[in-house]
A and B are shown apart, each in its own frame.
Chain A
């Protein structure tokens, strides 16, 4: 199975800050990498798929990059509504594993 490792596990940042979350796959997955946002009590929401394609309707402050084994989610200017946990997920092969999550807290 492909293991997905995110870092950091949590972070605290101020409104307006640039935030970067990394995700590493245990083997090459090309660009078969998705990013999700999950808020307590809500359904997870996909932000980015195919490593860098922003889902329609997702604010442009979110961006993704990377290929192979190393990927990045960037929030260019953190907003209060961005308080959430973010997960990467590989869609290369089953089981389509998630990273352990990165909890973003607003300072």
Chain B
């Protein structure tokens, strides 16, 4: 079955940087849009960013625009999220998810288990 495994989370100071990775297996990464979603403690799901199959289109939620960069390496079956200028409000579990197209609609059909990012001094 499709597998997505996030890594790279941890404790970082405000203003610091962190790079998350998502290892994809058992499907052809280059055929799918991919997405990052986060959940802050006690809060709901928040869509963060997504990236087209070839990396030619990328979209971000306003709160991370200019600070976060989504990227991918299809040859390495990997998705990334580079997070700069981190703030306390970026503290969350970060999930990577595969975006699938069916019935003229997109949805997130497979998700990883998430990696925790804590921004604190």
Contacts from A to B (Cβ < 8 Å): 1, 31-32, 34, 36, 38, 42-46, 49-50, 53, 55, 85, 87, 89, 91, 94-101
The CA of A6 and the CA of B100, in the complex, are separated in Å by 24
Distance (whole angstroms) from the CB of A44 to the closest CB of chain B:
6
**For residue B60, which residues in chain A have a CB less than 8 angstroms away from its CB?**
95
Distance (whole angstroms) from the CB of A3 to the closest CB of chain B:
12
CB of A97 within 8 A of CB of B103, answer no
A contact patch SS: loop
For B44-58 the 0/1 string (1 means CB < 8 A from A) is: 111100100000000
Distance (whole angstroms) from the CB of A24 to the closest CB of chain B:
15
Can you list 23 A-B contacts with CB-CB less than 8 angstroms, sorted by A residue number?
A1-B61, A32-B105, A32-B106, A34-B105, A34-B107, A42-B113, A43-B112, A43-B114, A45-B111, A46-B107, A49-B103, A49-B105, A50-B103, A50-B105, A53-B105, A55-B109, A87-B44, A89-B108, A91-B106, A95-B59, A95-B61, A97-B47, A99-B44
Specify which of B50, B104, B108 is in contact with A44 (CB 8 Å cutoff): B108
**For residue A98, which residues in chain B have a CB less than 8 angstroms away from its CB?**
37, 44-47
The CA of A1 and the CA of B65, in the complex, are separated in Å by 13
By CB atoms of chain B within 10 A, which of A1, A38, A44, A99 has the most?
A44
Given contacts A49-B107, A95-B59, A95-B61, 16 further A-B contacts (CB under 8 A): A38-B45, A43-B112, A44-B45, A44-B111, A46-B109, A50-B103, A53-B102, A55-B109, A89-B47, A89-B107, A91-B105, A95-B60, A95-B62, A98-B44, A98-B45, A101-B44
